[in-house]
Amino acid sequence: MSNRFRAVVESANCWALPVLYLAAAALRAQTGSRAPDPILLDSRSAARMLLSEVKPEYPALAKVNYIQGSVRMQLRVTPEGRVVDAHVIHGHPFLAEAALQAVRRWVYRPLRRGSAAAEFSTFVDVKFALHTRRIDRMPPQPERDLDRQVRPPVPLRKPASSDSGDSVRMRVLIGAKGQILDTQPLAGAPSHFAAAREQVEHWTFRPARWGSQSVPWYVDIDVPVGPSAAQEPTIPRTR
């Protein structure tokens, strides 16, 4: 059966205020408390400023498993119009990797505020839609069927440090080679988000497996922050 497919970028509604708060807090932690927050630009206005839009390729693994839907992301764009940060808010891991690779190459027209260009943040949805002539052959719940078949990623090693009692709950997107593709804070003190992201970059993971094949997948972990964290990695939860 041959599938025709398309990837369409749509404007996202900025309804995810709790997520935006966490993202903005993470940016403050990265840039310092005295640095101004990026301007929140509504997605329609941001779409009109898009100069170079790289279309994502539809992942073969997603097609063969009938996975479709949208990937919502929060972007941070420099005064020069370059996407410097792109983080997944939600979306299937098979699609999220392709969406990240595409949007990180987008270029925007600089946002002007008076005589100066300004950094801004916005939300986008990247939508993946399968089209087939035999819609009756598509399973009713393909994502649930796939979830039951995937063995999630497993943390293998993390740097030794002392246990301060503080931690940040993180959702990590692990690639098919075990590499970290994206991190997103889920809970914890915003002042610890940057440290948690830096800690996770030194962890190693065994990638998720679908049968004998390694696949991209999410894992939720608790990342100890502070001067020490000697305990073993906590047992992860899947997405």
pLDDT in tens, 198-236: 889 989 999 999 999 999 999 999 998 875 443 444 545
Q: Are 99 and 52 in contact (CB under 8 A)?
A: no
| Alpha carbons 2 and 91: distance in angstroms, whole number | 24
Give the domain extent around 126.
Answer: 4-135
Mean pLDDT in residue range 155-164 = 70
Amino acid at 161: S
For residue 59, give the CATH number of its domain: 3.30.2420.10
Q: What is the DSSP letter of 191?
A: G
Classify residue 213: in a domain, yes or no. yes
pLDDT at 163 over 60: no
Residue 130 and residue 167 share a domain: no
pLDDT in tens, 7-55: 444 444 433 444 544 555 555 555 444 567 888 999 999 999 999 999 9
Residue 22 and residue 70 share a domain: yes
What is the token pair recorded at 163? 């246990």
How does residue 72 score in pLDDT terms, banded at 50, 70 and 90?
Answer: very high
- Here the contacts of 180-188 (C-beta below 8 Å, separation 24 or greater) are 180/205, 181/96, 181/97, 181/100, 181/216, 182/86, 182/87, 182/88, 182/96, 182/100, 183/87, 184/22, 184/87, 184/88, 184/89, 185/22, 185/26, 186/22, 186/220, 188/225
What is the token pair recorded at 59? 């992942």
Q: Are 182 and 200 in contact (CB under 8 A)?
A: no
pLDDT at 147 over 50: yes
Classify residue 236: in a domain, yes or no. no
Q: What is the DSSP letter of 175?
A: -
pLDDT at 67 over 50: yes
Residue 75 and residue 128 share a domain: yes
How does residue 138 score in pLDDT terms, banded at 50, 70 and 90?
Answer: confident
More confident residue, 178 or 135: 178
Residue 123 and residue 17 share a domain: yes
Strand, helix or coil for residue 28: helix
| Alpha carbons 154 and 221: distance in angstroms, whole number | 10
pLDDT of residue 73: 94
Residue 105 and residue 58 share a domain: yes
Q: Which H helix or E strand runs over 214? A: strand 213-215
Residue 168 and residue 214 share a domain: yes
Residue 23 and residue 130 share a domain: yes
Residue 161 and residue 63 share a domain: no
pLDDT of residue 237: 55
pLDDT at 127 over 90: yes
Q: What is the helix, strand, coil percentage profile of the chain, to 5?
A: 25, 40, 35
Other C-beta atoms closer than 10 Å to the C-beta of 131 total 10
Residue 51 and residue 13 share a domain: yes
Classify residue 146: in a domain, yes or no. no
Strand, helix or coil for residue 137: helix
| Alpha carbons 123 and 73: distance in angstroms, whole number | 6
Residue 71 and residue 175 share a domain: no
What is the number of domains present in the chain?
A: 2
pTM as predicted: 0.76
For residue 177, give the CATH number of its domain: 3.30.2420
Q: Which H helix or E strand runs over 70? A: strand 69-77
Q: What is the DSSP letter of 163?
A: B
pLDDT in tens, 91-111: 999 999 999 999 999 999 999
More confident residue, 131 or 152: 152
pLDDT at 69 over 90: yes
Residue 119 and residue 157 share a domain: no
